[in-house]
Chains A and B, each alone.
Chain A
Amino acid sequence: MERAVPETGELNDSDVVLATLLKRRGRVQQRLALFLAGVGLLLLLYVSFQYWQMYAAQRKLALEWQQQSALPANISSNEIDPSSNGLTRLTIDKIRLDAVIVEGSSRKSLKLGPGHMEDSPLPGNSGNSVIVAHRDTFFRHLDELQDGDEIDLRRQGEVYRFVVTGRRIAEPTDLSALRQSSSAQLTLITCYPTHYVGPAPKRLVVVARLIATSKTAGE
């Protein structure tokens, strides 16, 4: 497209027009570059804000959880305001996960932490307690869990130790993972494939059973 300027230094009208066009195109390209960089920056800020929000929520919840765990032993659990207490902390050493569970599995809840499905019993109670979390945050390494790996849930001075007994890939419409059980069971669910940026057509289901309940030594 670019034409060499005649050595004589003489510019005719078409050269002037061409030069103007090239200059204008340069300006458009410059603006486009700035626009792309601006949009990119905004997206990065948005994503960072979302993760920061989650981090801040987890810190706040962890603080609440610590306060709750520090309550004197003579205060029974039913004396505690249920709307602000009863937080459960999920710890899986194998995948370096330590998070406080939020209530519900809505989009909003899952933005803040692993969500306990409201229709399932509390972790440690008899029945199938279901906890779901995002594959790109808390449950990123859930697929690394193997049979025998330990999962700890701590709530109000109690430690519920679960051991992984199985894992499978399920369709989103397969609700068998939510089925109730007679014994205490924990089911962790996240989207599958876990390490993939794109559609998540399936779910990874990890099942664990309660093997021990004990008192915490003090948090």
Chain B
Amino acid sequence: MKNVFLLIVAPVLLLTLGFGQTPATTDQASISGCLSGSDGNYTVTEDGTSQTYKVTSSAVDLSPHVGHDIAVTGQKTTATSSGASNSSVVVSGVSMISEHCATATASVPAVVDTIPAVSTNTSIEADPTPVATASTPPASDTTPAATASTPAAADPMPAATASDPAQPASASATETATNAPENTEQLPNTATSLPLLGLLGLGLLGLGLLMSKKLTRGTGIN
């Protein structure tokens, strides 16, 4: 009986481990905006919506980011009295978008909106136009004037987000504000549960066959 118990408990433990592999992100909220306040009493004014969130954190030191445009991730709670400032976030992670908050928050696009500038910036700075610069060493890739006029269509992959060739070349000056890609709060999760499932399957199959063999021989599991 003890063995049977172990046979059931072991897979359950393995399954628990497997589920632990995928980070639970369902309750996570991500807000980007300007951090203000001091002495543990911080607020983030969200870019775009101008909604203010009270942010607290025991894991992350927010004080160095006061006055910065940041993206915070964490547990979001909203008070039932529904005041705009009643929403709060317990921060578990913070990343800086820009060292400076925009002056007019309402007109500042959210993180999502800042990103196209990254790709535009990239394409303008040095679209290498693969065919034309086939044998050109990388050093010559940065020929802004010549390549800026290259249409984005020269990049065949849909990922080429150079959708605004008319963007002024000075866009590169906003590099700090456009460093982070859009919609990214975390680096992609690149761990799958397949190896674990495979091991679990192998283990269960082995155990099942072993049990069956023992029982068939009449010795029983006990």
Contacts and interface: CB of A to CB of B under 8 A. Distances in A.
Contacts, number: 263
A136 interface: yes
B95 A174 contact: yes
B192 A136 contact: yes
A11 interface: no
A200 B190 CA distance: 8
Given A47-B201, A158-B134, A189-B187, A126 B125 contact: yes
A1 interface: yes
Given A37-B208, A198-B20, A203-B187, A136 B195 contact: yes
B124 to A, nearest CB: 9
A218 to B, nearest CB: 14
A170 interface: yes
B134 A214 contact: yes
Contact of B195 (A115, A133, A197, A215): A197
B209 A37 contact: yes
Contact of A180 (B179, B189, B210): B179
A61 B28 CA distance: 35
Nearest to B156: A86
Interface residues of B, number: 81
Interface string A126-142: 11001011111101000
A171 B23 CA distance: 13
A178 B138 contact: no
A172 B159 contact: no
Contact of B7 (A30, A36, A85, A191): A36
B126 A173 contact: no
Interface stretch (B43-51, B77-85, B101-109, B113-121): B113-121
Given A119-B161, A136-B192, A198-B20, A180 B122 contact: yes
B138 A40 contact: no
Given A33-B208, A135-B191, A170-B187, A175 B141 contact: no
Interface residues of A, number: 90
B40 interface: no
A177 B155 CA distance: 23
A38 to B, nearest CB: 7
Q: Is the interface of A mostly helix, strand, loop or mixed?
A: mixed
A110 B138 contact: no
A198 B188 CA distance: 16
A3 B201 CA distance: 37
Interface in B1-47: 4, 7, 11, 17, 20-21, 23
B191 A134 contact: yes
Interface stretch (A13-21, A75-83, A91-99, A143-151): A75-83
Closest 8 CB pairs of A and B: A37-B208, A43-B201, A86-B156, A126-B126, A40-B204, A40-B205, A119-B181, A36-B208
15 contacts: A38-B208, A40-B203, A77-B130, A78-B153, A117-B181, A119-B182, A124-B128, A135-B191, A158-B130, A172-B23, A178-B179, A180-B122, A189-B190, A197-B199, A214-B134
Interface of B: 4, 7, 11, 17, 20-21, 23, 73, 93-95, 115, 118-119, 121-123, 125-128, 130-131, 133-138, 141-142, 151, 153-161, 172, 175, 178-192, 194-212, 215, 220-222
Given A110-B188, A215-B134, 19 more contacts: A26-B215, A33-B209, A35-B208, A42-B201, A43-B197, A116-B159, A119-B183, A120-B159, A122-B159, A125-B128, A125-B141, A126-B142, A172-B189, A175-B186, A182-B125, A184-B126, A189-B190, A199-B20, A213-B138
